[in-house]
Amino acid sequence: MTRLLAYLDEAIASLWRNRMRSALTMLGMIIGSASIIAVFGISRAATSGIASTFTSFGTFPIIVQPDPAQDYPALAQIQYRDTSTVANALQGFDVYVIPEWNRTLLTTFGSVRDYPTIVTNSGFHDDGLAMQEGRKISQQDVDSAAHVAVITADLAAEYFPNEQAVGNDLRINGGRYRVVGVYANVKGSFLNALVGSSTVAVPYTTFHRDMDPSPPDYLMVVAVNQQQVDQVGQITVNALQHVHGARAKYIVQNTADTIKAFENVLNIVGVGLSVIGGVALVVAGIGIMNIMLVSVTERTREIGIRKAVGASRGDIALQFLMESIVLSLLGGGTGMGIGILVVVGGAALLSPQLGEMLIPYVLIVSLALAFSILVGTLFGTYPALRAAQLDPIEALRT
C-alpha cells in the first residue's frame, strides 16, 4: 500500500508539472463522462418517475375487448350481462370484473356547460390516488346505482370556482348527480394528459341504467394476484366464447405488460444515447494514450536512471499506468460532477411533467468511477509497457 501511495504521489506531481497539457487531455474525459452521466441519469430518473406514477393507479388490470379484425365483430360484442357471466366463471379467483364505458356527455352546473369525459367506476379501489375533497365511489354506490359522481380537480375549478364541489349537483345528460369527491391532480402533467384531466366518474350500474344502456366498450378484469393474469384472461375469453360462439374473437391486453414495454423503450433509448456518448470516452482514451506516449519519450533518461538503480519493469509500468489512471479519474470525476448537476437540473424541469423522479446517485457514481478506471487502464497499458521495455543502456544514452 505504501508503494502504491508513493507512485500515486509521483503521478500527481508529474501531472502537475505539465498541468496545462494534463488539463487539455482531461477535457475529452470530462465531456464524455458528463454526457454519459447526464443522458443515463435523466433516462433512469424519468423511468422511475413514470413508473411510480403508474403504480399509484393500483393493480394493473387486463382489458378484454372484441377483436376489430375478425370477420363477425358484431357477434363478439360484449354485453352488460356478460359481466356476471365472466364473474361466475372466475369464482375461484380473487378478481373484480368491471364493464367500462367512455363517453363525452353534456355536463352543466348553472350557466357552466362543458362536455367532459364520463367514465365508469366500481367500488374496488387499491390505488394511491389522493382525494382533494370527499371520497371515492363505494361498493354501496354501485350496488344501489346511486346518482353520485367523482370529478377531477380541473372540473371542480371549472364548475365550482367559488364554492366547495362536494355536496353540489351536476346535471349530466339530463340527470342530476351529487358530487361526492374530487380527485387531486396526478403528479405529472404528462400523466394528467394521458389519463384525462377533465373526467367524471360514476358507478357503472348507474351509467348503464340511467345514462347509456348501450353495450360496454370493454371488460376490465382486475386480478389481485398478478401471477394469475394469463390464466384469468384465458378463462374470461372462454366464458365470452361460450356465450357468443367459438367464432367470436377477443383481444386480451395486459396493461402491466404495456407499461413495462414503455419503460423498456425508455431504458433502451437511454442506453443507446449513452453508447453514443461513450464514443467521446474512446476519443478521450486515445488522447490519454497519446499524451502518455509523449511523456514516455520525454522521460526516457529518467526511466533509464530508475532501471539503473534497481527499478524493475513492473515498477516502471506501474508508475506510468498510475499516471494514466489518475489522469482519467480526474477527468471522469470532473465530468461526473457536471453530469450530476445536469441530471438534477433536468429532473427539476421534468418532474412537473413526469411526476416525482428518483435520481440513482449510487449508480451514477459507480458508473463514472468504473468507466474512468477502465479508460485509464485500457489506454494507459500500452505506454506503460513501452516504458517498461526500454533498454536501460539505450535510455541512459538518450
Inter-residue contact 41 to 353 (CB < 8 Å)? no
Q: What is the mean pLDDT of residues 276-296?
A: 81
- What grid cell was written down for 237? 375469453
For the chain, give the number of residues: 398
Q: What is the mean pLDDT of residues 98-108?
A: 89
Q: What is the mean pLDDT of residues 155-164?
A: 90
Give pLDDT, residue 52.
67
Q: What is the mean pLDDT of residues 115-127?
A: 82
Q: What residue spans define the domains of the chain?
A: 2-55+260-397, 62-254
Give pLDDT, residue 208.
92
CA distance 310 to 306: 7
Q: How many CB atoms lie within 10 A of CB 56?
A: 15
User: Is residue 366 over pLDDT 90?
Assistant: no
Give pLDDT, residue 393.
65
Q: What is the mean pLDDT of residues 193-216?
A: 82
β-bridge partners, 112? 109
Highest mean pLDDT: which of 33-42, 198-207, 341-350, 368-377? 198-207
Alpha helices in the chain (DSSP H): 2-17, 19-55, 82-89, 139-144, 153-159, 189-195, 204-206, 229-244, 255-298, 300-308, 313-354, 361-388, 392-397
Give pLDDT, residue 396.
63
Read off the pTM.
0.64
Looking at per-residue confidence, does 187 or 107 come out higher?
A: 107
Over residues 8-58, the pLDDT tens digits come to: 777 777 777 777 887 888 888 888 888 888 888 887 787 777 766 666 666
Inter-residue contact 133 to 166 (CB < 8 Å)? yes
Q: How many CB atoms lie within 10 A of CB 29?
A: 29
Distance of CA 384 to the CA centre of its chain: 43
Give pLDDT, residue 22.
79
Share of the chain above pLDDT 90, in %: 13
Share of the chain above pLDDT 70, in %: 88
